[in-house]
Structure formats: C-alpha cells, structure tokens
Amino acid sequence: MQLTDHMPLLIAHDQLEAIRQHAAREYPSECCGVLLGLADGSAKRVREVVALRNLRHDAARAQEFLPLADPWQESERNRYLIDPGDLLKVEKDARQRGLEVLGYYHSHPDHPARPSEYDREYAWPWCSYVIINVAEGRPGDYASWVLASDRSRFEPEPIELTENHRPEKGEPKETRWLYR
C-alpha cells in the first residue's frame, strides 16, 4: 500500500502550536486531545483542537474504565486515556456544529512519534492519530497515523500545514481546553 492511499490531514500552524504547547506542559506525562473538523473525499481538515485531561492521572478511576495490564510499568507517563464522559461531551457539541471527530492526538515523552503496540490495540479505524515526541520537555517530531484496514498495523498519514484558520463571528477559537 502506498502512502498516498491516505488522504492528508490538513492542520493549521497555530493548531499544531497548541498541540506542541499542550505536550510540553504535560511533560513528563502524556497529553491527549481531540481533532475536530470536516472530511471530504480528498482531505481531513482540522477546524478545532480540543485539549483534554489525561484520565491516567486519576489512576483509580482510569483503572475502572480501561484497566492496565501492568500498573507498575504503565502510568500517565506512558499511557493516556480520554475520559469517556469528556469525549461524549466533545462529540455531542461537535455534531451540533456540523463537525466530526477526525482523530486524536497524544504525546510521547522521551519516545519517538511512532505508535506503540498499546496505541494500535485501542485505535479506531479511519481516525487520525497524531503523535508528538517531547524530548526532555521540548516538543519535537510529530507524525500522523491511521490504522490499516485489517488493524494489523498503523500506516503513516500525510500531514499538510495550512494557514491559520480565521474563526468567523460566533465560531469558537480553534483550541479549547476542557480542563485547566
């Protein structure tokens, strides 16, 4: 399969910057968030970045939703978990505004921007998974990934950086924080 089989993810400079800042702020933990936008036959266009809390910080509650195989080896430093309640809110709000969930982003503190086996296991088909490396607190390489149709592996998805989107009147700003 060729890379061009995947349509590109179009993301604006300041949206990417928001992800970088979120990743740096959460270091050495993983950050996570949702990419909202619109997809047509040729591209996925990100309209909004929604920064979410990594539920792994709340180990007891996170274990209830998605238990970790080895809580001694796994924590918010190498795992992220989006709160299902937060995601529901974001999805509902997006639908009302005619946007869809294009994918998710998370950081890899001191690890390359490549999906882990864990990432693959819990990934949804079609969705974009943007991963950004944070090396000693500084955001570095990033890449976007999509599951292969048989779920056996992730395939790279091209990212195209675009001009910053200018929100129209009444339109929310491009980055929202669902926590502080």
Which contacts (CB < 8 Å, 24+ apart) does range 82-86 have? 82/32, 82/34, 82/52, 82/54, 82/55, 83/52, 83/53, 83/55, 86/52, 86/53, 86/178
Mark the segment that binds Zn ion (CB under 5 A) among 38-46, 49-57, 114-122, 143-151. Answer: 114-122
Cβ proximity to Zn ion: between 15 and 107 the closer is 107
The residue sitting closest to Zn ion, measured at its beta carbon, is 119
- Select the residue interacting with Zn ion from 76, 119, 157, 174 (CB under 5 A): 119
Mark the segment that binds Zn ion (CB under 5 A) among 21-29, 47-55, 68-76, 117-125. Answer: 117-125
Contact in structure between 174 and 48 (CB atoms under 8 Å): yes
Q: Of the candidates 66, 58, 70, 78, which has an alpha carbon nearest to the alpha carbon of residue 131?
A: 78
Q: Does the footprint of Zn ion cover residue 26 (CB under 5 A)?
A: no
Cβ proximity to Zn ion: between 116 and 162 the closer is 116
Q: Does the footprint of Zn ion cover residue 174 (CB under 5 A)?
A: no
